[in-house]
Structure 1
Amino acid sequence: MLRWLTAGESHGPELLALLEGVPAGVPISITEIQADLARRKLGYGRGGRMKFEQDEITLSSGIRHGYTIGSPVGIRIQNTEWPKWTEVMSPEPVGDEVFETGRGRRLTRPRPGHADLVGMQKYGFDEARPALERASARETAARVALGAVAKKLLAELGVRTVSHTVAIGDVHVPEDASWPVADDVEYLDTDPVRCLDAETSAAMVAKIDETRHNGDTIGGVTEVLVYGLPPGIGSYVHWDRRLDSRLAGALMSIQAIKSVEIGDGLETTRRPGSQAHDPLYAVDGKIHRAADRAGGIEGGMTTGTVLRARVGMKPIATVPHALHTVDVSTGENATAFHQRSDVCAVPASGVVAEAMTALVIANSLLEKFGGDSLEEVRRNIRGYLDAIPATLQTSDELVDPSDLDLDTLDDESMGDSRSEWKV
Structure 2
Amino acid sequence: MIRFETAGESHGEALIALISGLPAGIPVDFEFVNRELWRRQQGYGRGGRMKIETDKVHILSGVRHGKTIGSPIAIQIPNRDWKNWEEKLPVEAGDPAKHQAVASPRPGHADLPGALKYNFKDARYVLERASARESTSRVAAGAFAKLLLRALGIEVASHVIRVGHVELERAATWDEIVAVTEKQDVLLSCVDAETEARMKEEVEEVARTGDTVGGVFEVVVHNLPPGVGTYANWDERLDGLLAWAVMSLQAVKGVEIGRGVTAAESFGSQVHDAIHYGPETAEKPTRFTRHQNNAGGIEGGISNGEDIVVRGYLKPISTLRRPLESVRFDTREATAASYERSDLCVVPAAGVAAEAMVAFIIAQQVLEKFGGDSLDELKRNYDGYIQQIRNF
For Structure 1 versus Structure 2, the TM-score category normalised by the shorter chain is over 0.9
- Are residue 156 (structure 1) and residue 162 (structure 2) matched? no
What letter corresponds to residue 306 of structure 1 in structure 2? D
- Are residue 166 (structure 1) and residue 125 (structure 2) matched? no
Stretch deviating more after TM superposition (75-84 or 353-362): 75-84
Stretch deviating more after TM superposition (148-157 or 27-36): 27-36
Which whole-Å CA distance do the structure 2 matches of 1:197 and 1:137 have between them?
Answer: 27
- Are residue 352 (structure 1) and residue 347 (structure 2) matched? no
- Find the counterpart in structure 1 of residue 38 from structure 2: 38
Alignment of 1:99-114 (within 5 A): 104-114=99-109
Stretch deviating more after TM superposition (279-288 or 248-257): 279-288
- Are residue 74 (structure 1) and residue 74 (structure 2) matched? yes
Which whole-Å CA distance do the structure 1 matches of 2:215 and 2:340 have between them?
Answer: 22
- Find the counterpart in structure 2 of residue 15 from structure 1: 15
- Are residue 262 (structure 1) and residue 263 (structure 2) matched? no
Answer whether contact 1:56 1:79 (CA < 8 A) is retained. no
Other structure's SS at 2:57 match: strand
Answer whether contact 1:120 1:131 (CA < 8 A) is retained. yes
Change (3 A) 1:382 1:181: farther
1:112-150 per-position Cα deviation (integer Å, ceiling 9, x unaligned): 111000001101111101111000000000000011111
Deviation of 1:172 after TM superposition, in Å, equals 0.5
Answer whether contact 1:164 1:188 (CA < 8 A) is retained. no
TM normalised by structure 1 equals: 0.88
Other structure's SS at 2:235 match: helix
Stretch deviating more after TM superposition (171-180 or 220-229): 171-180
- Find the counterpart in structure 2 of residue 193 from structure 1: 188
Change (3 A) 1:389 1:213: closer
What letter corresponds to residue 230 of structure 2 in structure 1? S
Deviation of 1:241 after TM superposition, in Å, equals 0.6
Which whole-Å CA distance do the structure 2 matches of 1:364 and 1:185 have between them?
Answer: 27
Other structure's SS at 2:24 match: coil
1:120 pairs with one of 103, 115, 129: 115
Stretch deviating more after TM superposition (201-210 or 187-196): 187-196
Which whole-Å CA distance do the structure 1 matches of 2:245 and 2:184 have between them?
Answer: 23
Deviation of 1:337 after TM superposition, in Å, equals 1.1
Alignment of 1:337-376 (within 5 A): 337-376=338-377
Answer whether contact 1:16 1:74 (CA < 8 A) is retained. yes
What letter corresponds to residue 88 of structure 1 in structure 2? K
Which whole-Å CA distance do the structure 2 matches of 1:378 and 1:328 have between them?
Answer: 56
Stretch deviating more after TM superposition (53-62 or 250-259): 53-62
Change (3 A) 1:336 1:372: same
Change (3 A) 1:81 1:227: same
1:238-265 per-position Cα deviation (integer Å, ceiling 9, x unaligned): 1111111111011000000011000112
Answer whether contact 2:259 2:295 (CA < 8 A) is retained. yes
Answer whether contact 1:256 1:316 (CA < 8 A) is retained. yes
- Are residue 307 (structure 1) and residue 302 (structure 2) matched? no
Counting aligned pairs with the same residue, the percent is 48
Deviation of 1:382 after TM superposition, in Å, equals 1.4
TM normalised by structure 2 equals: 0.95
- Find the counterpart in structure 2 of residue 333 from structure 1: 334
Change (3 A) 1:37 1:191: closer
- Find the counterpart in structure 2 of residue 250 from structure 1: 245
- Number of residue pairs matched? 386
- Find the counterpart in structure 1 of residue 170 from structure 2: 175
Which whole-Å CA distance do the structure 2 matches of 1:144 and 1:186 have between them?
Answer: 14
Change (3 A) 1:349 1:356: same
Change (3 A) 1:177 1:163: closer
1:310-336 per-position Cα deviation (integer Å, ceiling 9, x unaligned): 001100000110110000200110101
Other structure's SS at 2:218 match: strand
1:227 pairs with one of 213, 222, 229: 222
Answer whether contact 1:188 1:196 (CA < 8 A) is retained. no
Unaligned 5+ residue runs, structure 2? 281-286
- Find the counterpart in structure 1 of residue 283 from structure 2: none
